[in-house]
Amino acid sequence: MTYIRPASSQIDLWPSLGLELDWNKLLTFGKKGESFQVPSPALAAIGASYEPSSHGFNGPLSTCITPHATPGDLHDIFNNTFKALGIPPRHEFSGGELRGFGLQAVTQDGIADVREDAARAYYYPFADRQNLVAMVNTTATRMLWSQDSSDGNAVASAAEVMNMNGEVSTIYADREIVLSAGALRSPAILENSGVGNSEILSRQSIDTKVHLPSVGENLQDQTTFTISALALNRNFTGYPPFVAHTSIYDLFGSNAPSLFNSTLAKLPDYAQTIASQNGGASSAAVQERILRTQLDLIFNSNTPASEIAPIGTGNAIGSAIWPLQPFSRGSVHVSSPNKTALPSIDAKFFQLDFDGQLAVATARFARQLLTTAPLSAIINATTINPSFDLVPADASDEVWLDWIKTKSGYNPNYHHLGTCAMLPKDMGGVVDNEFRVYGTQNVRVVDLSVIPLQVAGHSTSLLYGVAEWAAQKLKANGAYRSKA
């Protein structure tokens, strides 16, 4: 998985929203878990570089610039083409600054030549511990409750799970339950347990234990699609580890101030749209405040607007692209009394027109990349997709957006987050700064669902850093110390 940390300005915003984590803390926790492998001279020769201060070297998770990087001159061709379009080279993408083109790190042990993941880094080395049991081929369905605490908070006593044969078991909890099922399943498990919007729960005959309308709301993901062509007399091998981040000014140039003003004027309507469909999770005033912070990040900080990932595979060449900061907010909720049924996902892609404007501008830039030297010299121009017959050089935003929605084959980027947001409760929060679910005594959520706003970079690196932060909190309060 790609390993790029967010822009520093995005994380430094979080304390203004009530979170304790800022960029310096995230970088510290991220480095704690990382074991970065220095690029070899062969990789350096094709563009690989790094800044030691941006990486950890003694953590459990191996990262590297893949040794399978595309050989030859493709890096230099892309680099010089991006420079021709005003995008500078960038030698490090995990230090909080992202604008530029370069090579990205991945979660891979480049020495052993195996993909790295959480199991290899955090489970396998400790799998023989007597107090650690992994139940495979098993699905968590809900939590069970005991008598409320003296201050009225719900106390979870057990987790109910089902194996692949449909057999249900109960796992009792002496202290706490930590839910880490991801941004699509964690809110569903909370709802199946009676924690959520009572109106949604009642439709599935679920008794409400904690009325918390924000559960499952605030879903945010990016949309991704490809601008591509066929290369002339080229057959690219290896893995293309290239990435570029563009600012709003790279995409809109002198029109950026006008876009800022027009979008600012729309924020009240955007906020009302979000508030009207989130079941009382937060007010329009709260949503307008959050949207304004996003707008300011995009226009007045080092937060990039889009990611462009150049591709060279076989004789195909181009870019996978996605706008990084969607304003639209979706939801994920249970939709069946069957507790193992998949939840219903409504991503609301392109509901707010700012998201479409960013997608169109990014697509224009990516096609311009294909027609700019030196990259244009190795491309068969008649194979560019979308073609200039389909989307003319002077095509309007409407023509471009129609192509994106109906012909590009766009997909979710699978960076979904936000559905159990760490925010104050009156701002749509589900968990507090201790990762504890509001209204409960001993239930925590630790996964990407707690991240309140979409970020640049890639969510893998963010998640590992946040998980290290959560682990410190869990250990510090004594929840996981051995009993006397």
Are the CB atoms for 435 and 450 separated by under 8 Å? yes
3-state secondary structure 287-309: HHHHHHHHHHHHHHCCCCCEEEE
Q: Which amino acid is at 466?
A: V
Cα–Cα nearest to 183, from 295, 362, 333, 5: 333
Closest CA to 459 of 1, 124, 93: 1
Count other C-beta atoms under 10 Å from residue 70's C-beta: 23
Rounded CA-CA distance 289/254 in Å is 26
AA identity, residue 28: T
Beta bridge partners of 306: 246, 323
Structure tokens at 119: 């199991």
Cα–Cα distance for residue pair 1/105, rounded to 1 Å: 9
Q: What are phi and psi of 469, to 5 degrees?
A: -65, -45
- In this structure, what token pair is assigned to residue 156? 């979870």
The answer to whether residue 415 is catalytic is yes
Residue 251's nearest CA partner among 329, 351, 354 is 354
The active-site residue, picked from 75, 333, 415, 416, is 415
Rama region for 305: left / alpha / beta (φ>0; ψ in -120 to 50; rest): alpha
Using an 8 Å Cβ cutoff, are 199 and 32 in contact?
no
> What's the full length of the chain, in residues?
484
Q: Which of 23, 116, 25 is nearest to 66 (CA)?
A: 116
CB burial readout 278-316, b (16+ within 10 A) else e: bbebbbbebbbbbbebbbebbbeebbbbbbbbbbbbeee
d(Cα 204, Cα 215) in Å, to the nearest integer? Answer: 15
Give the 3-state secondary structure of residue 90.
coil
Contact assessment for residue 238 and residue 69, using Cβ atoms and an 8 Å cutoff? yes
**Distance, CA of 268 to chain centre:** 26
416 is catalytic: no
Answer whether 54's CB lies under 8 Å from 92's CB. Answer: yes
The answer to whether 6 and 95 have CB atoms below 8 angstroms apart is no
Candidates 75, 245, 333, 458; catalytic one: 458
Peptide bond into 392 cis (omega under 30): no
Is omega for the bond preceding 89 within 30 degrees of 0, making it cis?
Answer: no
Residues with a catalytic annotation lie at 415, 458
